[in-house]
A and B are shown apart, each in its own frame.
Chain A
Amino acid sequence: MMELFLNALASGLAQGGIYALIGVGLALIFGAMHVVNLAHGEVLVAGALLAYLLAGAGLPLWGAILLGGGLGGLLGLGLYGLLLPVRREPPISSMVLTYGVALVILYGLVEAFGTDLRNLTYPAWVRPVHLGPIRLALGEIITLGMALLAVGGVAWFLKQSWPGLAVRALTQNREAAMALGISPLAAEALAFALGSALAGLAGALLVVVQPIAPMAAPLFTVKAFVVVVLAGLTSPLGVALAGLLLGAVEGLSALVNPAWGELVAFLTFVLMLLFRPQGLFGRRR
């Protein structure tokens, strides 16, 4: 029984790595612009499909994965450009606009690729790795490692580099940041590109470890949103922790009943909104 528990936990954490990536991406964008990007899942799927195409065409897998992330960044920049005219409008305008873009990307992808699932199978990535009683596919370990590495990189970037500090300053106090001479446009564009690149990277990693279809995009947006609400507006590491937690909760619930994974995840989300709206790691404002 303990073996089952540990394996379910490990699988959940591996999935949580993906949630961490998309959660951190969404939190970055929201922090800098106070915009809930409803096209986040679509950016993920676009990254996944590009990686699928490039790897299928013979490009080395690592290159395909990185270019998937790169496409996410480009899409983020494009989306930011579209948001510029409505920046001063109430937040609902930006949300509606990102929703519209989400639909355009989603149905564009459906038109171009169809609704079929896509999956890259590399026998080495599917091979089991034994860590004591835990069995995981090598691909899951790589995905989790890369996700944590990317989140750590973003955290370092935000803390140690000038552009990163500018994004953080903008997130914490917009007026004060501008008074210090920080260009909000550049910092916002950077946050949007970086946040979306994380989503693209998540998609590119995902397509190597599990099947993915364009129609799954809205679910990933929702999952990213759940992660951000769970964490509260906090540091990337806090959001990443919430992502891992969500994955673990899903994995362990599935052990009790395979149909309970998402049910428990969304129930946790509702309870969090009701009883701790500032999230697990956020502070009440």
Chain B
Amino acid sequence: MRRIGFLLPLVFGLALAQYKIGSHLPLTGSLSRIGTEMANGVRLAVEHFNATAPFKVELVLLDDESSPAKAVAAVERLVGRERVLGVTGGYGSNIIGPASEVAERARVPYITSGGLTRDLTQRGFRYFFRFTNVEGYAVVAADLIAQGFRAKRVALAHDDGAGGTDVARAVRAKLQALGLQLVFDSSYPGRSTDLKPLLEQIGRSGAEVLIFIGYENNYATALRGAQVVRPKVNAFVGLYSLITPSLIQDLGPLMEGVYGTEPWTNGSAPVALRAEEARFVRDYRGRFGQTPGYLAALGYVQTQILLNALKKAVESGSPTPEAVRDALATSQGETLVSAYRFDEKGDNVLYRTVVSQVQKGRGVPVWPKERAYGRWVYPQVPWTR
């Protein structure tokens, strides 16, 4: 009885305890659509956590308007006045870079999935963790080409921005490791309005598969140009931002059959987590009246990982940012987006996207096999070969 009496205040205290985590995202301004979707994922993760955890967590969400200065000010407030135990969020490498520096100085863990630039994890930071990285895109696409399509000759075209160059570097390394022959390799200006000359050259290179890296405008330009040039390749694989609702709507039949990597799409979670995925989608729709996209899923899982680390820290009796950081550094597991385990630089070495193919106007996850929802069609391109 005395023992129970001793435990009661502890249990009661845990139930009432309020711990804070912080987040900064572009809720207004040009990236508000992206920021709001990600923020909704963050909010839902906190709500799901609070529904089952023995203590409550409060989320302090700030708008950084996708401005580096405002993001820095937001994190200063989060780690200063709000005294949060961890920060989840940030979108864009140019924002995450300076914002995470503030968290690093304050020794508060910062977890993100909003920036792919290699430099972010090359700074020797101890409190920085990134769920996503370019390798996660390159590995699955190269595996599909080598093991799924069993193709040998690949063409690579990428935009000349930092992101495109980084992803291309990762793709090159992976293709080389798999013994694939890179028969065409070129960058193009991200603002290019005519990619037909590039496609002409790709068509003549003898490539079986074209890996195309760019943003939405580049994909639209390339796929329109391909209707005219009709390069002789068996598949068009876009590395990111290809299979998006706006492109599918705008380009319609010009997208049919293309492949694109996606961090997550409804139905792409590992089989063991399909029930959790269904709950995420159902609750997201109920709470925000929209279907979640991959941005919402990324916001959700990165916050889940932070909250699980926070829970470990609380349970160990030391709810400090340092303890949360240590729990993050040693944590690993599976989420509805990807598996995770952080290396000494804070990068997720297990991060993998899924490859979807546009079939009858919608993206169907087809690779890797354990996360596939349908079967790929190969060869297939949206133009007559």
Interface residues of A (CB under 8 A from B): 4, 7-8, 11-12, 15, 110, 114-121, 123, 126-128, 135-137, 209-211, 213, 215-216, 219, 251, 254-255, 258-259, 261-262
Contacts and interface: CB of A to CB of B under 8 A. Distances in A.
Contacts of A4: 197, 200-201
Secondary structure dominating the interface of B = helix
Contacts of B160: 259
Interface string B167-206: 0000000000000000000111101111111101100000
A135 B227 CA distance: 10
Nearest to B251: A121
Interface residues of B, number: 33
Contact of B194 (A115, A215, A251): A251
A210 B200 contact: no
A259 B188 contact: yes
Contacts of B194: 11-12, 15, 210, 251, 254
Nearest to A120: B250
Contact of B221 (A8, A114, A210): A210
B33 interface: yes
12 contacts: A128-B230, A137-B228, A210-B221, A216-B191, A254-B194, A254-B197, A255-B197, A258-B187, A258-B189, A258-B198, A259-B160, A259-B188
Contacts of B187: 258-259
A221 B214 CA distance: 25
Interface string B332-373: 000000000000000000000000000000000000000000
A219 B200 CA distance: 26
Nearest to B250: A119
Nearest to B195: A258
Interface in B155-172: 160
A137 B194 CA distance: 11
A255 to B, nearest CB: 5
B254 A210 contact: no
A210 B197 contact: no
Among A15, A251, A259, max chain B CB count under 10 A is at: A259
A117 B244 CA distance: 12
B30 interface: yes
Contact of A126 (B31, B197, B228): B228
Interface string B242-259: 000010001111100000
